[in-house]
Structure 1
Amino acid sequence: MATPPPGANLEGAPPAAPPPPGTDMTGICFRDQLWLNTYPLDRNMIFDYFTLSLFYDRTCNNEQLRMRSIHPLDISQLSKMTGIEYMLSEVMEPHLFVIRKQKRDGPEKVTPMLTYYVLDGSIYQAPQLCNVFSARIGRALHYIQKAFTTAASKLEKIGYVDAENDGGTPLHSKAGKETIDLKEVKRVDQILASLQRKLPPAPPPPPFPEGYAPPQTEEAEKDPETQQTAEPQPPAIDPIIDQGPAKRMKI
């Protein structure tokens, strides 16, 4: 049986055009069930399967070796070339294969760019570490700020009720309960408000590696002054929790 064309989907539709360089593809996955039913998924065939996906760059050095009938993962040949290449870094046959995209500038000088993994026949692009840290830190700061706001609002409500009671309004349920010190409440409220003002925003993520550009969002296009005056927004999507393998679009 002939090998399916690159980018073919399960329904047999025409192969999709490869995305432009720098496109974020962490939200999609590729799976060709016809190929998986025909060929074994092992270290000898995994790269042939990877070339069918939209993650594969056909200008890489591995493709040049394939055109010369040389094994595309032959490190003795790849080390003599410069440019973009793919390497099989981790193998747990037949369930997990990790493929690293890197730029080679010499026999011993390579710069990692992106990482892909094949999990039980489905190919995914691993999220950037800077994206994971940025999402986790942003989510933590969001909930910490929300906790401070909730605590401050409850303390203000307690102080308001206590002030009304001191003004002459009797409370039958107040007997036998511990008296609230209004000065202590205000002092704690001031401490919480001071900590909330000192809470720094999420630090900017480190620069992206060469060949990768973050997806443009609507918030990034807004005026910076508008973002400063707006209320705190929910945390950004977590590349691991919110975009796991089960939630990615299949191609």
Structure 2
Amino acid sequence: MAATPAPPPNVAAGNPVIDGASAAPPPPGTDMTGICFRDQLWLNSFPLDRNLVFDYFAISPFYDWTCNNEQLRSRSIHPLDLSHLSKMTGNEYILSEVMEPHLFVIRKQRRDGPEKVSPMLTYYVLDGSIYQAPQLCNVFAARIGRALYHISKAFTLTASKLEKIGYVDAENEGANPEGKSGKETIDIKELKRVDHILASLQRKLPPAPPPPAFPEGYAPPSTSEAEKGAEDQQNSEPQPPSTDPIIDQGPSKRPKFQ
């Protein structure tokens, strides 16, 4: 693989080693799904392809300066050269999927040997914007929570409509008993029995199961705000679950780092 191209000026400006800093910045957090990164000046100056996409990724807050790829860059070797990465141990990035020029998938993994690697996190560059893919356990928790919310809401709505039907029919039967002689009568007891069945099914709905155990090295976000929100909602109506990490978090809903 050819040597890595010369980094653009703004990439060099962000490198703490070139600036003469004593130490590299700390590694990025494991949960950064709430932000995206886009540098329009870089995109206007350089083409986004498989040879330069890693240099673009290296200026984002998702990049870990202690990775093996950075050591290759300091030796003027292409940072994605597997012939060199396979001989090293530690954290590294690889380009797993490419659909030039729109989509690039970058995977962070831990290498313990030439053939022994453990996936850690996944990032993707979509039309010049960089995102961190959510953890699979978070996706399952969001989808299951949303499904249980809508099922519970459907049972509540059905039970309320049955109560109104029984109340109106009871009033009409008492006010004009002769007017219902030619119509099909509704059994109030049957309505109440169905209402009772629906209510019992609603109570038996299990809560959303806890998400699977986090992978090794993953630090879940702080739950202090979530606990406060749960206490505030005890005396209020049920609210829909949190936003889906795949469907609802688009570029317009994430803060951008320029």
Q: Report the RMSD for the aligned CA atoms in angstroms.
A: 2.9
Matches within 5 A, 1:40-55: 40-55=47-62
Q: What is residue 123 of structure 2 aligned with on the other side?
A: 116
* Mapping 1:140-151, distance limit 5 Å: 140-151=147-158
Per the alignment, do residues 81 and 150 of structure 1 end up closer, same or farther by CA in structure 2, a change over 3 Å counting?
A: same
1:89 to 84, 96, 101: 96
TM-score using structure 2 length: 0.82
Whole-angstrom CA distance in 2 between matches of 1:120 and 1:149: 43
Q: 1:18 to 1:191 in 2, by over 3 A?
A: farther
Report the AA paired with residue 117 of structure 1.
Answer: Y
Q: Which amino acid aligns with 1:122?
A: S
Query: What secondary structure sits across from 1:4 in the alignment?
Result: helix
Instruction: Name the aligned partner's letter for residue 189 of structure 1.
Output: D
Q: Structure 2 unaligned runs (5+)?
A: 1-6, 15-23
* Paired letter, 1:87: I
Which deviates the most, 45-54 or 204-213? 204-213
Deviation at 1:231, TM superposition (A): 4.8
Partner of 1:236: 242
Residue 129 (1) aligns with residue 125 (2): no
Question: Relative to 1, partners in 2 of residues 1:176 and 1:56: Cα closer, same or farther, differing over 3 Å?
Answer: farther
- Identify the match of residue 198 of structure 2 among 189, 192, 196: 192
More displaced stretch, 229-238 vs 202-211: 229-238
| Contact 2:93–2:108 (CA under 8 A) maintained in structure 1 | yes
Tell me the number of residue pairs that the alignment of Structure 1 and Structure 2 aligns. Answer: 242
Structure 1 CA distance, aligned partners of 2:175 and 2:155? 30
The residue aligned with 1:64 is 71
Aligned-pair identity (%)? 79
The TM-score, its normalising length taken from structure 1, stands at 0.84
Give how far 1:224 is off: 8.0
Cα shift at 1:106: 1.8
Task: Identify if the C-alpha distance between structure 1 residues 24 and 7 changes in structure 2 by more than 3 Å, giving closer, same or farther.
Answer: farther
Structure-2 change in CA distance of 1:85 and 1:172 (3 Å): farther
Query: 1 CA distance for matches of 2:138 and 2:56?
Result: 28
